[in-house]
Amino acid sequence: MNIIAIGGGGFTHGTDPQLENYILGTVGIAQPKIGFLATASEDDETKITRFYERFKSCGKPTHLPMSSSKAQLETWTLRQDVVYVGGGNTNNMINIWQQWGLPEILRIALSQNITLAGVSAGAVCWFETALSDSTGKGLHPLPCLGLLSGSCCPHFDEADSQRRQSFVKLIADGALQNGIGIDDGVAVHYQNGEIFNVVSARPDARAYVVKASGNEAVTNTLAVNVLPPSIEH
């Protein structure tokens, strides 16, 4: 059972094609069915267009519009080989999914060995909790789907943000579970709920485990496999 969380970047930004190649490589099918959920960006047309441009030559891409009926959700989701979740507003996305009943369908998809992947909001949504600013009240813990234990913070390397500092402090204070911070350009691959591999499309980008230790939090850098430059399939 594969879940792949990307800290930031990827096809929606026109970067890091190695990460998508890696995701496709987990499926083991020449032309996999790849489904895109752009709920977090309210079906942003630019992101959807880039999705089809990225995957049209290496798979069978489709997306699930927000206008879809509830009856279509399960059929569409469970016929994919990969479900890829785009970035945007995590809080809005989770609320909409709950109204649709999609979280349970995604759990079924995972049990059927459909690879679940995503970037930013699409990375943190799989965990119990995310560090998020998506409610407009600053960075704070946000309950998510709980398919992976612990917490997650994307864009961990953003120099002009407070994400790293806030994540570490909230874990030290006990307001967040122990978790993982992921730089842009990095994918953390979970198999059966455990970290299986960490890959980076950028030489200096990494992922980090952050754990409470007494009144502090300790940050440890995970071993990473830097992917060689590649072209899109």
Residue 78 neighbours by CB under 8 Å, 6+ apart: 105, 108, 109, 112, 114
Catalytic residue among 63, 155, 166, 200: 155
Q: For helices 45-55 and 17-25, what crossing angle results, to 10°?
A: 60
Closest CA to 46 of 88, 79, 18, 7: 88
Q: How far apart are CA 179 and CA 7, in angstroms?
A: 13
Q: Helix (H, G, I), strand (E, B), or coil: what is residue 104?
A: helix
- Please state, in angstroms and rounded to a whole number, the distance separating the CA atoms of residues 217 and 168: 6
Question: Is 140 a residue of the active site?
Answer: no
Residue 155 annotated in active site? yes
Cβ pair 154, 162 in contact under 8 A: no
Which candidate in 41, 120, 132, 134 is catalytic? Answer: 120
Report the catalytic residues.
120, 155
